[in-house]
Amino acid sequence: MRFLLILSLIITQSCTGQNLNNSSFTPGDIWKDADGNHINAHGGGFYYEDGTYFWYGEHKNQNSLAQVGVRVYSSDDLYNWKNEGVALSVSTDPNSEITTGSVIERPKVIYNKKTDKYVMWFHLELKGQGYAAARTGVAISDNPLGPFKYIKSFRPNTKIWPKNIDDSEKVYNEEDEKLEWWTPEWKESLIDGLYVRRDFEEGQMSRDMTVYVDDDGKAYHVHSSEENQTLHISLLTDDYLDFTDTYVRVQEGGQNEAPAVFKSGNTYYMITSGLTGWDPNPARSFKSKSMLGPWEKLGNPAVGEEAELTFRSQSTFVLPVAGKKDAYIYMGDRWNPKNHRDGRYIWLPISITNGKPEFKWHDEWDLSFFDTLAP
Ligand code: GAL
């Protein structure tokens, strides 16, 4: 009898894989893919097509340097994920910008209807330079699973002024750069565009980022710029492969990182984090009637115990659930800088209460949460 039981267990496991039976989310636990391995897709971005969700993320080892590249997983229910391999590989060519040992973070994939191509944007730091390069990178594929072909990386908006900067703020003053960091004079100068002026010729810094495709097909690149002190939102070209000359500064001096954008009705919402590296801090939220702003501050969307640490997570994406109205999932990373591959995923259901996004902690939840939301 016992033999038969064990045999049937073995057969079931080998037919279905080990972990294709999840029916809920358990934020912060080890999340096993169908092969039984903890999902390795940090700083993730999500794309949905024809009943399949694709999860792109940073393949991490113990440290956070890119040794493999961007991994992709697929799922048809968001609970059970299949490892689909490497969507964008690091290069073994030491002269490549995405060579092994570079930093590839926060990959986001969007689909371009006009060109029928999948476009991946990500934050790139060049090997051996820490976080000094502050570039955005782009890659392209015919297939959501890849392989994505690396195109280029750069600092965007070279020799272009943001739409919302005054003429008086365009005048470079060498003295500004001598201001001591964190003094009131420095902060004032920063808000006035100190780093936009400094980086005007060489391009604006681009670190934590996301991309967002609007209903009209226009795509926007949102990134931490100006020494991570100010967000920039830029309109991409029609093929999504480049920047146009349209961009704005958002929350000047507000120190926002980890942007995630979603739209409910006619309102755009953005969730971000503060600036404490791998350590968690209180999330922030904003709303706007247009991607190019103005963005209004709404406060911390996390509610309840540990909200001041966003339940020990940092935002990476907000996913609209396919087929459910007003169903959005906050997706965050609980980083583990001692062993990056053990970083955990914190997904929580968002409700929009009085025009403000909110999410609370759940040890375990499932998509039926959204069926109980008030209309
Ligand atoms: C975080 C950022 C991460 C990573 C990290 C490096 O603030 O959100 O994506 O860049 O800093 O310290």
CA-proximal residue: ligand 1, atom 6 (nearest): 277
Q: Which of 58, 108, 122, 257 to mutate to test the pocket of ligand 1 (most atoms within 8 A of CB)?
A: 257
pLDDT of residue 172: 85
Q: What does the pLDDT look like over 253-302, one tens digit per residue?
A: 999 999 999 999 999 999 999 999 999 999 999 999 999 999 999 999 99
| Ligand 1 nearest atom to the CA of residue 275, by list position | 7
Confidence of residue 240 (pLDDT cuts 50, 70, 90): very high
CA-proximal residue: ligand 1, atom 7 (nearest): 277
Q: What does the pLDDT look like over 207-226, one tens digit per residue?
A: 999 999 999 999 999 999 99
| Ligand 1 nearest atom to the CA of residue 314, by list position | 8
Q: Is 257 in the pocket of ligand 1 (CB under 6 A)?
A: yes
pLDDT of residue 176: 86
- Tell me the torsion sign for CA atoms 316, 141, 62, 132: negative
Instruction: Enumerate the domain spans of the chain.
Output: 1-6+32-154
CA-proximal residue: ligand 1, atom 2 (nearest): 277
d(CA 169, CA 167): 5
Average pLDDT over the chain, rounded to an integer:
94
| Ligand 1 nearest atom to the CA of residue 43, by list position | 9
Mean pLDDT of 219-234: 98
pLDDT of residue 138: 98
pLDDT of residue 16: 46
Q: Is 278 in the pocket of ligand 1 (CB under 6 A)?
A: yes
Q: Is the pLDDT of residue 306 over 80?
A: yes
- Tell me the torsion sign for CA atoms 331, 334, 335, 336: negative
pTM equals: 0.94
Q: Is the pLDDT of residue 364 over 80?
A: yes
CA of 149: how far to CAs of 139, 327, 350, in Å?
5, 33, 34
d(CA 348, CA 326): 14
Gyration radius of the chain's alpha carbons: 21
1-6+32-154 placed in CATH 2.115.10.20: yes
Q: Is 144 in the pocket of ligand 1 (CB under 6 A)?
A: no
Of 154-163, 166-175, 192-201, which range is least confident? 166-175
Strand order in the sheet with 42-49: 42-49, 52-58, 69-75, 82-89
CA of 48 to the centre of ligand 1 (A): 26
CA of 223 to the centre of ligand 1 (A): 12
Alpha helix locations (H) across the chain? 2-16, 184-191, 194-198
d(CA 1, CA 15): 21
Picking from 25, 61, 74, 112, the residue whose alpha carbon sits closest to that of residue 359 is: 25
Q: What does the pLDDT look like over 267-276, one tens digit per residue?
A: 999 999 999 9
* Burial per residue of 325-359, b for 16 or more beta-carbon CB atoms within 10 angstroms, e otherwise: eebbbbbbbbbbeeebbebbbbbbbbbbeeeebbb
CA of 6 to the centre of ligand 1 (A): 46
d(CA 359, CA 100): 37
